[in-house]
Amino acid sequence: MPANRKNSQQWFERSQQSLVEGVNSPSRGAAVYSPGPVFLERGEGSHVWDADGNEYVDFLMSFGALIHGHAHPKLVEVVSQTMAQGSHFAAATSAEVEAAERLQRMVPSAKVVRFANSGSEATMLALRLARAHTGRTKFLKFEGHYHGWYDPYLLNAHSHAPEMLGPPENPTRMPDSEGIPSATFADVVLAPWNDVAALERVMQQHGRELAAVITEPIMANMGCILPHDGYLQRLRTLTQDCGALLILDEVVTGFRYAPGGCQEYYGITPDISTFGKALGAGFPVGAVAGPRSILDRMRWSDHMVLHYGTFNGHRLTMKVVAANLDLLSADGAYKKLHGVGDAAISGLREVFRRRKITAIVQGFGPMFQIYFTERDAIHDYRDYCTYADTHLYSRFVHRLLELGIYMTPSNGLHWIISTAHTEKDVAALIEAADQACAALE
């Protein structure tokens, strides 16, 4: 641990006595941060401070949840006013109506909305709805896509050594977790992403038995991998032809690339959309949205799709969601997210070029990732597993942490721009990246 992180080190030692690995998710602990995590204590705008008082520019932003940065004054005001009146009633409230109406306005495919408490809950519900709606049980997921920690989604969501992957037309099936009955995966069809020919093959073989195909529109859990031109559109047509629903998992991309997320950006209309992260601006929330014909299956009856939850439509969260979506609907919010992000991307590319570091920066605007690779692009899971030097990336980010840039050393995540980031933050990143490159040479 660097000398200026004594308090973080002490907290980490103490946390071992009460928390598994000292954290609440392995991605926050020593499996990623070596020799242990930075303990964060305070955040304001785009900056965070750790337990030793060190200041950082934050580019992780709670894995993308903090679309307006930390402690946005409007959200602080909404939270304190709402809290003074009671945080949650588990009853019908005007707050949940106002949040849903705003979501509907921003996402045209959202004819009706159901709120849950996390992205994982939203994707769980989406699959149950799709199965009930179609009367089919199987579904297709893509290699390297992560949709939360629900049992059937935990197949090939982690990266593996390339020799373990098997052929693309018949991928080796690798569960990501113990404790899941193997029968669960009998209903999962697995396919490579971003490859139209492979998709046509698998849909021809399995399409008519699929309740749904679930996809991230931009692959955000192997860094940041963009869909090839026309890929999502082809997926839309093929699913329609087979009577399988298209679940667009916009937990990462929703409210980030455009008011209507990637479905607006790429011009596709899914059957079911799932949201989380940026929707809550730092509060835990998930949402499922789509047409009445599908979501109305949750209406009370002997044959309903069950979705309960004490904290669904949590009043405090719903007030934050409404205020957050108002902020995002204000003029210039997306222009700023894209402008600042694009400046960071081109600045980083220039640093790597000048320093003669073989690295690419992939993505655009509000979200991107750096890959240390000889390739000119990472197109899919197999490219990521084969060509991205994740160890070098981790070394690079550990150095950035010492230079006042907060980011996860995991190459599978991505850099996040919030509306709180400024040109000055980008300049700090470029300067730190330049120094970190010098350490890699």
Ligand X SMILES: Cc1ncc(COP(=O)(O)O)c(C=O)c1O
* Active-site residue identified among 52, 195, 231, 277: 277
The two tokens of residue 417 are: 């721009």
What's the rounded Cα separation, in Å, for the pair 232 and 262?
A: 10
Name the segment binding ligand X (CB under 6 A); options: 97-105, 133-141, 214-222, 380-388.
214-222
Interface residue with ligand X among 210, 220, 238, 279 (CB under 6 A) is: 220
Cα Rg of the chain (Å, integer): 21
Name the segment binding ligand X (CB under 6 A); options: 142-150, 199-207, 233-241, 288-296.
142-150
Lay out the site mask for ligand X across 361-380 (x = CB under 6 A, - = otherwise): --------------------
N-term to C-term CA, the chain: 22
- CA distances, 374 to each of 44, 138, 178, 437, 440 (Å): 38, 38, 35, 16, 16
Nearer to ligand X, 154 or 323 (CB): 154
Lay out the site mask for ligand X across 122-141 (x = CB under 6 A, - = otherwise): -x------------------
Interface residue with ligand X among 9, 46, 82, 120 (CB under 6 A) is: 120
Nearer to ligand X, 221 or 263 (CB): 221
Distant-in-sequence, close-in-space partners of 299: CB < 8 Å, separation ≥ 6 = none
143 in contact with ligand X (CB under 6 A) = no
- Best CA proximity match to 174, nearest among 159, 193, 190, 155: 155
Least distance (Å) between residue 220 CB and ligand X: 6
Number of residues that bind ligand X (CB under 6 A): 15
Tell me phi and psi for residue 326, to 5 degrees. Answer: -65, -45
Least distance (Å) between residue 122 CB and ligand X: 7
Least distance (Å) between residue 393 CB and ligand X: 18
217 in contact with ligand X (CB under 6 A) = no
Nearer to ligand X, 248 or 436 (CB): 248
Least distance (Å) between residue 250 CB and ligand X: 8
Nearer to ligand X, 203 or 279 (CB): 279
Nearer to ligand X, 276 or 341 (CB): 276
Secondary element (H or E) of residue 427: helix 423-440
Least distance (Å) between residue 184 CB and ligand X: 18
Secondary element (H or E) of residue 191: strand 188-191
Least distance (Å) between residue 328 CB and ligand X: 18
The neighbour count for residue 147, using CB atoms within 10 Å, is 26
425 in contact with ligand X (CB under 6 A) = no
317 in contact with ligand X (CB under 6 A) = no
Lay out the site mask for ligand X across 26-45 (x = CB under 6 A, - = otherwise): --------------------
Which residue's Cβ has the minimum distance to ligand X? 119
The two tokens of residue 298 are: 């949750």
326 is catalytic: no
Residues 27/32/37/40 CA torsion (nearest 10 deg): -50
- Best CA proximity match to 132, nearest among 288, 312, 313, 310: 288
- Best CA proximity match to 31, nearest among 43, 18, 20, 41: 20
The neighbour count for residue 75, using CB atoms within 10 Å, is 21
387 is catalytic: no
Place of tokens 């047509």: 237
335 is catalytic: no
Nearer to ligand X, 275 or 352 (CB): 275
**3-state secondary structure (DSSP) of residue 433:** helix
* Active-site residue identified among 195, 249, 380, 383: 249
Classify strands 359-364 and 55-58 as parallel, antiparallel or unpaired: unpaired
Distance of CA 124 to the CA centre of its chain: 15
Segment 72 to 111, residues that bind ligand X, using CB under 6 A: none
Name the segment binding ligand X (CB under 6 A); options: 99-107, 124-132, 190-198, 215-223.
215-223
* Active-site residue identified among 56, 138, 141, 146: 146
Nearer to ligand X, 148 or 282 (CB): 148
Distance of CA 178 to the CA centre of its chain: 23
216 in contact with ligand X (CB under 6 A) = yes
List the strands of the sheet with 210-215, edge to edge.
112-116, 286-290, 272-275, 245-249, 210-215, 138-142, 188-191
Segment 247 to 276, residues that bind ligand X, using CB under 6 A: 249, 251-252, 276
Residues within the interface to ligand X (CB under 6 A): 63, 118-120, 123, 146-148, 216, 220-221, 249, 251-252, 276
Residues annotated as catalytic are: 146, 249, 277
